[in-house]
């Protein structure tokens, strides 16, 4: 596939390509251009040139274009789901949900952008008008990870476009194919230069986009380490940074939680996309009095999950994205075992799957916060369970992390629920329904989990800058002017 710059498919100035492989088979699916800083320059120049006309289009015109893109994605729904499954690895039902969420994000922001522009505020005196206006920045750089490449791009691109900005996107080198295909089939009706996609490695394309002087906004989803790198690179330029970074999300099981339902909720929260979700449950806290029963029930449930290629209809849990990511999970499990943890189920590469980056869903007990698996982002199919004695202790354990992306609680005790959402420091709190997002509900983290919000009105505000206009309509002489 080719990059998308100024409304057409183009090759890289490097003449080189990057192979994109299926993580379930390790077979090459296709290649994409290995972009260079010169390609970024071309894309940014196109976006910059398109910006003046694009910002002058009406909210209705922009809404119609986004609705049309959503309709075209629906027309190519099955094709996009299949391609995404092959390059990213999630089972088909999870990728169908991603594409559905993505196209509905376009429809949501198309309409939201039609009724927000700013506000009129009370003026200091009669005969005056005070306006608070929202204006686009210009070119927005969108840097997107591999785990939800379409969803996380459109969570950025849809509000950025609706706000009147133009876009240069850089997909992950691991999963660029569906992004390029989506742009070709669903966004080619946008004016040339409004949307551009440059493929390539982060050290080449990503850094060039981040530091480009004509890109005032960087919207990034990825690891905290890369977010810190972006912040350092842009410190001297005072860019607007929108950073959705790592997480180490806790799931607290309260003593009143129905065991069977809580087990099902936790299995989903921890193992969707093989645990490769920024809001995956990575730490579990269970009352000591019910720990044994809960852990055994969870291990039994997890042992029945079907591991295999995402494209197969019988698969529950697909592969990890690559060997380096799987090796990190193995390191975390090995560290936990060396410190006294026990594996109830999983904890190994499946012997019946010789190809692909598979790792068995793993349940561990006897863990504590001295272990890497309870402190560092694992990003894999592991469920470490720790006992607690009081709900105060559970809240303290949930907060005992440098991250603050999300947190889950299973309880029907209203007093515990209120304490949890008031006292746990995380950007999203899920009660009894983990990892369910809301188009109108802002998503983002606290602490080391990032800056800014996606979705909702807040997600649109991220791509506007605010201007105050004070207009004295009469323009008369003021008695506080010189001379005093």
Q: Which two tokens stand for residue 141?
A: 């750089």
Q: Is 404 found in the same domain as 291?
A: yes
Burial bucket for residue 340 (CB in 10 Å: 0-12, 13-18, 19+): exposed
- The whole-number pLDDT of residue 417 equals 98
pLDDT band per the 50, 70, 90 thresholds, residue 370: very high
- The whole-number pLDDT of residue 67 equals 98
- The whole-number pLDDT of residue 65 equals 98
Q: Is 108 found in the same domain as 9?
A: yes
- The whole-number pLDDT of residue 212 equals 98
Q: Mean pLDDT, to the nearest integer, of 118-131?
A: 96
Q: Which residues contact 483 (CB under 8 A, 6 or more apart)?
A: none
Q: Which two tokens stand for residue 24?
A: 């379930």
Q: Which of 6, 44, 457, 418 is nearest to 210 (CA)?
A: 44
DSSP-derived letter for residue 281 is: E
Q: Is 13 found in the same domain as 29?
A: yes
Whole-model pTM: value is 0.97
Write out pLDDT tens, residues 425-464: 999 999 999 999 999 999 999 999 999 999 999 999 999 9
- The whole-number pLDDT of residue 470 equals 97
- The whole-number pLDDT of residue 9 equals 98
Residue 440 is assigned to a structural domain of this protein: no
Q: Is 319 found in the same domain as 227?
A: no
Q: Tell me the C-alpha to C-alpha distance, in Å, between residue 309 and each of 29, 317, 361, 383.
A: 14, 8, 14, 21
pLDDT band per the 50, 70, 90 thresholds, residue 304: very high
Q: Mean pLDDT, to the nearest integer, of 372-376?
A: 98
- For 332, phi and psi rounded to 5 degrees? -65, -40
Contact indicator for 3, 179 with CB cutoff of 8 Å: no
Q: Is 281 found in the same domain as 175?
A: no
Question: Which of the following is catalytic: 87, 98, 244, 282?
Answer: 244
Q: Is 174 found in the same domain as 287?
A: no
Q: Is 98 found in the same domain as 77?
A: yes
Q: Which two tokens stand for residue 122?
A: 């009370």
Helix 391-399 × helix 414-423 angle, to 10° = 30
CA dist 160 and 137 (Å) reads 9
Q: Is 382 found in the same domain as 318?
A: yes
Q: Is 278 annotated as catalytic?
A: yes
Q: Is 129 found in the same domain as 19?
A: yes
Q: Indicate the helix (H) or strand (E) that contains 252.
A: strand 249-253
Q: Mean pLDDT, to the nearest integer, of 219-234?
A: 98
CA dist 308 and 15 (Å) reads 36
The count of domains in the chain is: 2
- DSSP string spanning 124-183? SSTTEEEEEEEEE-SEEEEE--SSSHHHHHHHHHHHHHHTT-EEEEE--TTS-HHHHHHH
pLDDT band per the 50, 70, 90 thresholds, residue 279: very high
Q: Mean pLDDT, to the nearest integer, of 237-245?
A: 97
DSSP-derived letter for residue 337 is: H
Residue 436 is assigned to a structural domain of this protein: no
- For 273, phi and psi rounded to 5 degrees? 55, 40
Distance of CA 296 to the CA centre of its chain: 32
Residue 97 is assigned to a structural domain of this protein: yes
- DSSP string spanning 353-408? --SS-----EEEES--TTSGGGTS---SSEEEEEEESSHHHHHHHHH-SSEESEEE
Q: Is 244 annotated as catalytic?
A: yes
Contact indicator for 118, 134 with CB cutoff of 8 Å: yes
- The whole-number pLDDT of residue 191 equals 98
Q: Which two tokens stand for residue 201?
A: 């490695």
Q: Which residue range(s) make up the domain with 400? A: 249-431
- For 3, phi and psi rounded to 5 degrees? -70, 170
Q: Across the chain, what does the average pLDDT equal?
A: 98
- The whole-number pLDDT of residue 253 equals 98
- The whole-number pLDDT of residue 426 equals 98
- For residue 131, the domain's CATH number is 3.40.605.10
Residue 241 is assigned to a structural domain of this protein: yes
- The whole-number pLDDT of residue 122 equals 97
Write out pLDDT tens, residues 5-47: 999 999 999 999 999 999 999 999 999 999 999 999 999 999 9
Q: Mean pLDDT, to the nearest integer, of 47-73?
A: 98
- For residue 385, the domain's CATH number is 3.40.309.10
Residue 345 is assigned to a structural domain of this protein: yes
pLDDT band per the 50, 70, 90 thresholds, residue 364: very high
Kind of pairing between the strands at 403-404 and 240-244: unpaired
- The whole-number pLDDT of residue 366 equals 98
Contact indicator for 261, 294 with CB cutoff of 8 Å: no
pLDDT band per the 50, 70, 90 thresholds, residue 342: very high
Q: Is 124 found in the same domain as 38?
A: yes
Q: Which residues contact 6 (CB under 8 A, 6 or more apart)?
A: 42, 43, 46, 50, 192, 193, 196
- The whole-number pLDDT of residue 197 equals 98
Q: Is 167 found in the same domain as 192?
A: yes
Q: Mean pLDDT, to the nearest integer, of 262-273?
A: 98
Residue 394 is assigned to a structural domain of this protein: yes
- The whole-number pLDDT of residue 42 equals 98
- The whole-number pLDDT of residue 112 equals 97
Q: Which of 379, 386, 338, 384 is nearest to 359 (CA)?
A: 379
- The whole-number pLDDT of residue 395 equals 98
Residue 482 is assigned to a structural domain of this protein: no
Question: Which of the following is catalytic: 142, 204, 278, 462?
Answer: 278
Q: Is 254 found in the same domain as 228?
A: no
Residue 339 is assigned to a structural domain of this protein: yes
CA dist 404 and 248 (Å) reads 8
- The whole-number pLDDT of residue 363 equals 98
pLDDT band per the 50, 70, 90 thresholds, residue 347: very high
Write out pLDDT tens, residues 148-163: 999 999 999 999 999 9
- The whole-number pLDDT of residue 68 equals 98
């Amino acid at each position: 596939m080719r990059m998308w710059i100024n409304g057409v498919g183009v090759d890289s100035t490097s003449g080189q390509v990057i192979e994109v492989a299926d993580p379930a088979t390790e077979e090459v699916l296709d290649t994409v251009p290995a972009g260079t800083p010169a390609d970024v320059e071309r894309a940014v120049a196109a976006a910059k040139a398109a910006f003046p006309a694009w910002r002058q289009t009406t909210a209705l015109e922009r809404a119609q274009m986004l609705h049309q893109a959503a309709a075209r994605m629906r027309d190519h729904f099955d094709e996009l789901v299949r391609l995404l499954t092959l390059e990213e690895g999630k089972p088909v039902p999870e990728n169908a949900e991603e594409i559905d969420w993505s196209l509905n994000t376009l429809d949501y922001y198309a309409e939201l952008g039609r009724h927000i522009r700013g506000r009129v505020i009370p003026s200091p005196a009669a005969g005056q008008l005070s306006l608070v206006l929202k204006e686009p920045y210009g070119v927005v750089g969108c840097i997107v990870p591999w785990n939800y490449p379409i969803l996380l791009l459109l969570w950025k691109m849809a509000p950025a476009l609706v706000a009147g900005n133009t876009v240069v996107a850089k997909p992950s080198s691991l999963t660029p194919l569906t992004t390029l295909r989506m742009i070709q089939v669903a966004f080619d009706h946008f004016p040339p230069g409004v949307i551009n996609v440059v493929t390539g490695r982060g050290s080449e394309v990503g850094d060039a986009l981040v530091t480009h002087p004509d890109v005032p906004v960087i919207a990034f989803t990825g690891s905290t380490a890369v977010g810190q790198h972006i912040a350092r690179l842009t410190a001297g330029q005072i860019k607007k940074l929108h950073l959705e970074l790592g997480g180490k999300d806790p799931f607290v099981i309260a003593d009143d939680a129905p065991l069977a339902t809580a087990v099902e909720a936790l299995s989903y929260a921890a193992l969707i996309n093989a645990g490769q979700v920024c809001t995956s449950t990575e730490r579990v806290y269970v009352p000591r009095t019910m720990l044994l029963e809960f852990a055994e029930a969870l291990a039994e449930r997890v042992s029945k999950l079907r591991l295999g290629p995402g494209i197969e209809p019988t698969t529950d849990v697909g592969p990890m994205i690559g060997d380096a990511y799987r090796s990190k999970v193995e390191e975390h499990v090995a560290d936990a075992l060396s410190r006294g943890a026990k594996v109830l189920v999983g904890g190994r590469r499946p012997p019946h799957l010789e190809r692909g980056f598979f790792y068995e869903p793993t349940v561990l007990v006897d863990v504590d916060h001295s272990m890497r698996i309870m402190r560092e982002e694992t990003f894999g199919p592991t469920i470490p369970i720790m006992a607690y004695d009081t709900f105060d202790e559970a809240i303290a354990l949930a907060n005992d992390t440098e991250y603050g992306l999300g947190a889950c609680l299973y309880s029907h005790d209203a007093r515990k629920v209120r304490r949890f959402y008031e006292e746990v420091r995380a950007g999203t709190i899920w009660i009894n329904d983990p990892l369910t997002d809301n188009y109108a509900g802002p998503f983002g983290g606290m602490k080391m989990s990032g800056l800014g919000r996606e979705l909702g009105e807040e997600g649109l505000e991220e791509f506007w800058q605010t201007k105050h206009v004070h207009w004295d309509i009469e323009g008369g002489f003021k008695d506080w002017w010189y001379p005093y």
